[in-house]
Amino acid sequence: MKELFVGTGVALVTPFLTDKKIDYDSLERIIKFVDLPEINYLAIIGSTGESATLSWDEKIEILEFTKKKAPDQPILFGLGGNNTAQLLREISLINKYPIDGILSVTPYYNRPSQAGLISHYRQIADASDHPIILYNVPSRTGVNLESDTTLVLSEHPNIMGIKEASGDLKQCERIINAKSDNFLLLSGNDPHTLAILKLGGNGSISVLANYKPEMFGNMVRSYLNKEYQRALKYQNEMREYFDWMDLEGNPTSIKTALKTIHLCDKTVRSPLMEGSIDLENKFIKKESI
């Protein structure tokens, strides 16, 4: 099962119409756009997919639509929260759906202890019929899943990896040096992907891959195939894009990029705001070169 998530996963956006309803025509275009040999799976309903403003029914609709339009792509479904009991109820509902794994972000806002994080993740791993990938993104959640905690959780038979977006390469290195071969470490920050691969990581769940799937996927694939100079070439070609993704936040920046290549509008749901004309013009100018 873990081999499904080695390489590049696309952290898929959720396109919206101007009335804020889900734009399924655009979602289909994006799914087809990223359906390339360089892309290994789709990660849906995450922070890039604006999960915080989607209803449960909308999440299931997106899942069913994505499975229909990309039947051969492995699906990693975003399902996390800061109420363990509610999350267990949602896991009982998702158990019946044909997904390949659950990406579960650390509980946010209430800032549990490391012992609390261990208890939380063990409960959901015990309850889930699907394997769990931990998701550590302290810049969003306010809590860091420490390396020792990750290693304890890696011993659970239903926890198969972690998406590491702490930005702490030393922490990633400690996990990689002590984990078993069966536990995946995936980059959750696009600019750090090559550095994490050099430490021994297994791939990336990428935002930029919505917009540059071939280029980003080739960077990861090249490195995993030991074509190091080729991987570095792709990274250098994407450096400007990495910077622009940070300018107005995620998913505002990536949706702005996608608008310039006619894949979807840049509409987001409140409290997010759509990308600026200045940012849009950066992508337009770059594409015209």
Identify whether the C-beta of residue 134 lies closer than 8 Å to the C-beta of residue 159. Answer: yes
Q: Which of 163, 212, 255, 282 is the catalytic position?
A: 163
Distance CA 166, CA 6 (A): 20
Q: Reply yes or no on whether 241 is catalytic.
A: no
Q: Reply yes or no on whether 170 is catalytic.
A: no
Residues facing residue 186 across a β-bridge: 163, 203
Residue 144: how many other CB atoms lie within 10 Å: 18
- Give residue 21's identity as a one-letter amino acid code: K
Distance CA 43, CA 39 (A): 11
Question: 140 exposed, middle or buried (CB, 10 Å; 0-12, 13-18, 19+)?
Answer: middle
Give the pairing type, strands 184-187 and 159-164: parallel
Distance of CA 94 to the CA centre of its chain: 19
Start-to-end CA span in the chain (Å)? 42
Residues facing residue 205 across a β-bridge: 9
Output the DSSP codes for 146-204.
Answer: -HHHHHHHTTSTTEEEEEE-S--HHHHHHHHHHS-TTSEEEESSGGGHHHHHHHT--EE
Residues facing residue 164 across a β-bridge: 136, 187
Q: Which of 41, 121, 135, 241 is the catalytic position?
A: 135
Distance CA 268, CA 171 (A): 33
Give me the active site residues, please.
135, 163
